Amino acid sequence: MARRAAIAGTITAILFFAVLVFLAKRGLPANAGSTTAKAATSTPSTAPAPPGRKIKARLFYVADDGGRLTSVERDVAYGEDVEAQAREIIAAQIAEVAEPLVSAIPRGTTLRAVFITKSGDAYVDVSREARSAHPGGTVNELLTVYTIVNALTANLPAVTAVQLLVDGKEVDTLAGHVDLRRPLAKNLTWVQ
Amino acid sequence: MNAGLRSIFRIAVTAGLLIVVGAALSSQTVQSPALSVLSREGRRAVPLALVGDQEFVALDDLATAFQLTVREESLGAVTVSYKGKTIVLTPDQALASVGGRLVSLPAPPSRNGRRWLVPVEFISRALSLVFDAKLDLRKPSHLLIVGDMRVPRVTVRYDALGAAGRLTLDITPRAPATVTQENEHLTIKVDADALDVPAAPLPSPPSSGLILGVRNVDATTMAVDLGPRFAGFRAANQPVDTTMRLVIDLVAAQTDAPATAPAPPAAPQAAPPPELPPSFGQPASPFRTIAIDPGHGGDDEGVKTPDGAKEKDLTLAIARRFKGAIEARLGLRVLLTRDDDRSVPVDERTSVANNNKADLFVSLHVNGSMRPSAQGAAVYVAAFDRDAAQAAASHGERVPTFGGGSREIELVPWDLAQTRHLDQSSAFADMLEATLRGHVPLAAKPVERAPLRVLESANMPAILIELGYLTNPEQAKMIVSDAFQNAVVQALFDAVVKFRDTWPAGGTH
């Protein structure tokens, strides 16, 4: 009898602890203004926007002359905090587009993670296709890089510079030309 | 515990240990440089595996190389047979039985998957006892010499002797060597069957400018790449015990004296009189070396067209034409960062220019765009953000000086070296735009600034030129043509002449 009572007591304690943990997690504030760099995967978003809630964002595509970017205002899903919003913008930016738009992002590239430091440097981690499927050429590479850099710096004042990572790692370049070893600031000279 | 249980327990423990050892082996095995097997029939490579500090070789590979028969016995032993002679190995013992005689090994044989690995010393300690021909294992150089071959060890060192320099090659056992000069290198031919020499014979080439490095050419030939200050040499063989010492004294050209300094009195020359580079125009310009960087190469093909034109081939072809024009018509020294179809890391490209104190760096590329309409050549100058420029400017360091005190020296990080030359790079880019205009179609904005990796480390004026777009079918057709390539080379040549003529008399480096 005493043994049965002990087992029941243990189960009750475990359940009580589990409820405490659950409540503590529910009660935590959202990740707004996090003070440390924190990675998060892009899909599914950790803070899904209410259906239909959108923001206007400037996205960048290859201009007709092929040597510059052109910007287009688009509806992008709302993100609860800066990192969530950055993920939504990049996800929209690298999504495949139909003519007449032409994307400078190599086909098949997906977003792995975005994290933002306290100093405003954003790290955008994209899949390996960003390198392996890159068609080469200095202009192509500049337009690929500044599509991502400008998509964040032009839409999110909290982001001052962007460094691209590929498959979770720092890379020298995507196709042998543009230096990706440090964060790059907004550069609208590559935009018409 | 009865006897049956005890034996089951023992088997279980042994099996567990084997699994642990096997797992450790497979997780720690890394590829090591292959063993190079030299014989009269030629050279072949036998793979080596590194476990901890010990190099292992697979018995299968040795069996193929030396016609051995390897058999696993039912009791766990492994027998290696050669022409009726047998070597027996036991998996958990660092020993081999060779015709009944025990020899020690540095580690027991190990199974890796389906293959048995033995320490590489198995060759010299066990196999050499049964094999017909002499086996000379040279572990440090990963060399195995089969039979009576003359393969002397060669060590190379360089000593600076004031403005001059001395290369010393110790060849052991003795083998005489001859030295001849061929264009921009000295050829050292050793009278032997092969050489036991490191892949990089002189790991840290001197910065004196007399030589750029020493490399292996073939089995018995080495080459010394000559630097811009080289003027002459004298070579002599000196027997020292069992070693032949080849001493090559290198004489420096007299052109490095400051332009304003009085001419030094003529000194008696111990070596042949230096053949100074030809002088073109008065006064002699300190601008004398150009580094040309043909973009991409090897696996990195750059931009491609559907019908097979590749950026890497076009840049190399144009670089060779440009080099030929500069050398023939200006007498300047030209370095190519690659002269064949090979992959060259970005830092190695700028190293070639920086280590040779080039006065100008020109990187050749062909462009690509997602839109086929993109067209025209553009010249790129490096761009740095404000933080990087400040970082480059603030790198001073105080160092002690001889006799006490200290002085501040300027240090610039490697990847920011270009920050000091941006004005001159822009000046050359503008000159190049002017010489291209009217001869080569230009992009809407022909001079651009961008954070290009290959330019950032160049410690001299540096530009990257994109000659046109291979993704534009009309441009692609034009770029592969002789007429276009000649026009580009002429424009590059004319810009170099303009740039040289504006070069300050004392140089900037």
Calculate what percentage of chain B has a pLDDT beyond 90.
39
Residue B286, helix vs strand vs coil: coil
Nearest CB to A64; choose among B368, B371, B415: B371
Across the interface, do A181 and B415 touch by the CB < 8 Å criterion?
Answer: yes
DSSP string, B229-255: TEEEEEEEEEEETTEEEEEEEEEE-ST
Across the interface, do B300 and A176 touch by the CB < 8 Å criterion?
Answer: yes
Peptide bond into A100 cis (omega under 30): yes
Domains and CATH numbers, chain B: 28-146 (3.30.457.10), 153-252 (2.60.40.3500), 289-501 (3.40.630.40)
Q: What is the pLDDT of residues B212-237, one digit of tens each?
A: 889 888 889 999 988 888 888 888 88
pLDDT of residue B11: 45
Q: How many whole angstroms separate alpha carbon B448 and alpha carbon B450?
A: 7
Q: How many whole angstroms separate alpha carbon B509 and alpha carbon B238?
A: 40
Q: Using CA of residue B44, residue B48, residue B53, residue B54, what is the dihedral sign?
A: negative
Task: Map tokens 């950032």 to a residue.
Answer: B456
User: Pick the residue with more confidence: B248 or B100?
Assistant: B248
Predicted confidence (pLDDT) at residue B398 exceeds the cutoff of 50: yes
Nearest CB to A65; choose among B295, B373, B380: B373
Predicted confidence (pLDDT) at residue B80 exceeds the cutoff of 80: yes
Q: Taking phi first (over 0 means left), then psi (-120 to 50 degrees means alpha), and beta for anything else, what does residue A33 get?
A: left
pTM (global) more than 0.80: no
pLDDT of residue B380: 98
Nearest CB to A136; choose among B311, B374, B472: B311
Q: How many whole angstroms separate alpha carbon B398 and alpha carbon B181?
A: 43
Taking CA atoms, B330 is separated from B322, B414, B462, in Å, by 11, 30, 19
Which helix (H) or strand (E) is B313 found in, with range?
helix B311-330
Q: How many whole angstroms separate alpha carbon A85 and alpha carbon B214?
A: 56
CB-count exposure of residue B60 (10 Å: 0-12, 13-18, 19+): middle
Residues B373, B441: contact at Cβ < 8 Å?
Answer: no
Task: Map tokens 């960062």 to a residue.
Answer: B337
Across the interface, do A136 and B304 touch by the CB < 8 Å criterion?
Answer: yes
Q: What is the pLDDT of residues B292-335, one digit of tens each?
A: 999 999 999 999 998 899 999 999 999 999 999 998 888 889 99
Q: What is the pLDDT of residues B160-209, one digit of tens each?
A: 877 788 888 889 888 888 888 887 889 999 999 889 888 888 877 787 78
Calculate what percentage of chain B has a pLDDT beyond 70.
81
**Could you tell me whether strands A161-166 and A121-126 are parallel, antiparallel, or unpaired per DSSP bridges?**
parallel
pLDDT of residue A39: 39
The answer to whether B311 faces chain A, any CB pair under 8 Å, is yes
Rg (CA), chain B: 30
Tell me the two tokens of residue B405. Answer: 């005190």
**Residue of B350, B334, B371 whose CA lies nearest to B295:** B350
Q: Domain residue spans in chain A?
A: 1-30, 54-190
Across the interface, do A184 and B451 touch by the CB < 8 Å criterion?
Answer: yes
DSSP B417: G
Predicted confidence (pLDDT) at residue B352 exceeds the cutoff of 80: yes
**Residue of B65, B86, B471, B166 whose CA lies nearest to B306:** B471
Q: Using CA of residue B372, residue B373, residue B377, residue B380, what is the dihedral sign?
A: negative
Predicted confidence (pLDDT) at residue B373 exceeds the cutoff of 50: yes
**Residue of A169, A71, A78 whose CA lies nearest to A123:** A169
* Strand ranges across the sheet with B101-104: B69-72, B78-82, B85-89, B95-98, B101-104
Closest residue, chain B, to A138 (C-alpha): B367
Task: Map tokens 């000295």 to a residue.
Answer: B186
pLDDT of residue B359: 95
Across the interface, do B300 and A62 touch by the CB < 8 Å criterion?
Answer: no
- Residue B302 — φ and ψ, nearest 5°? 75, -150
Q: Which residues of A touch B368 (CB under 8 A)?
A: 135-137, 139-140
Task: Map tokens 């303009």 to a residue.
Answer: B498
Q: Which residues of B touch A136 (CB under 8 A)?
A: 296, 301-304, 311, 368
The answer to whether B406 faces chain A, any CB pair under 8 Å, is no
Closest residue, chain A, to B456 (C-alpha): A179
Question: What mean pLDDT do residues B73-88 have?
Answer: 87
Residue A91, helix vs strand vs coil: helix
CA–CA min distance B301, chain A (Å): 9
Q: Which residues of B touch A66 (CB under 8 A)?
A: 369-375, 469, 471-472
Q: Across all residues in chain B, what is the average pLDDT?
A: 82
A17 pLDDT band, cuts 50/70/90, is low
